[in-house]
Amino acid sequence: FQTDSEAWREFVRIYGPLIYNYCRKLHLKDCDAEDVCQEVFRQISTSLPSFEYNRKLGRFRSWLGTVTYHEICRFFKKNKKFQNQMGTPGIQDEIYEQAGESDAVWSDEFCSHIFTTALNNIQPLFDDQTWKAFELTWIDDVGAQLAAEKLKREISWVYKAKFVVQKKLKEEIQRLSFDSIIFQK
C-alpha cells in the first residue's frame, strides 16, 4: 500500500518524462519544457483532492494530454517572444493549428512511453538469461531455435522464458495505463 507522497512520486517519475518529451516534440526548449511540466504537475496536484475519476467521461491519458496541451498553449500565449511580430504564423500559431495532430502525437508518445517504462520496470525482476531470451525472441525478433542456440538452452526453455516475461510486461502495461497509478489506492 502506497502513501499519498509515494504515489505522487511514482506518478511524477512515470509521467514527467512523457510530458517533457511531448513538450519537446511541440518545439519547446529544454528549460521551457521543464517549466511546462512543473505547471502541469501543479495543476494536477491542486485538482486531485476534488478530482472524481469517471471513465465514462474519458480516459486519464486523454485528460493528462489535454491539460498538457493547454498548458503549452498558455505558455506560448504568455511568452511574447514566441509571437511573430511580422504578422506571419510563428510556432505559437503552428501549435494552435495542430490541435488534432497533437492528439495523435500525444497518443503515440503515451503508448511508447508506457511501453518503455513497463520494460524498464520489469527487467530487474528477471535473471539475465531469461531477459535475454525475451529480448532476442520478442524485441529482436530472432527465432526461438536460434535464441536457444545462442543461450545454450533448450527451445522449450526459451518459449517459457518469453511467455513469463510477456505476461509480466502485459500486467505492467495494464497497471501503468489503467488510467493512472494515482487512482489505484
Q: Digits of tens for pLDDT over the chain (185 positions)? A: 456 788 889 889 999 999 999 999 888 999 999 999 999 999 988 887 776 767 677 777 888 898 999 999 999 888 865 555 434 445 445 554 555 556 788 888 898 999 999 999 999 999 999 999 999 999 999 999 999 999 999 999 999 999 999 999 999 998 888 654 444 43
**What sign has the CA pseudo-torsion 164, 167, 173, 178?**
negative
Burial 122-139 (b: 16+ CB within 10 A, else e): beeebeeebbbbbbbbbe
Q: Against a cut of 0.75, is the pTM above it?
A: no
**Distances in Å between the alpha carbon of 133 and those of 122, 124, 142, 158, 159?**
14, 14, 9, 6, 8
Cα–Cα distance for residue pair 179/185, rounded to 1 Å = 13
| Nearby residues of 42 by Cβ (< 8 Å), 6 or more positions away | none
Domain with 70, as residue range(s), is 4-183
Closest by alpha carbon to 179, among 59, 39, 64, 74?
A: 59
Total domains present in the chain: 1
> Which triple of cell numbers denotes residue 115?
511501453
**Distances in Å between the alpha carbon of 92 and those of 19, 75, 85, 128, 171?**
18, 9, 12, 47, 39
Query: What amino acid occupies position 150?
Result: K
Kindly tell me the burial class for residue 30, based on how many C-beta atoms sit within 10 Å of its own C-beta (0-12, 13-18, 19 or more). Answer: exposed
> Are 47 and 177 in contact, with CB atoms under 8 Å apart?
no
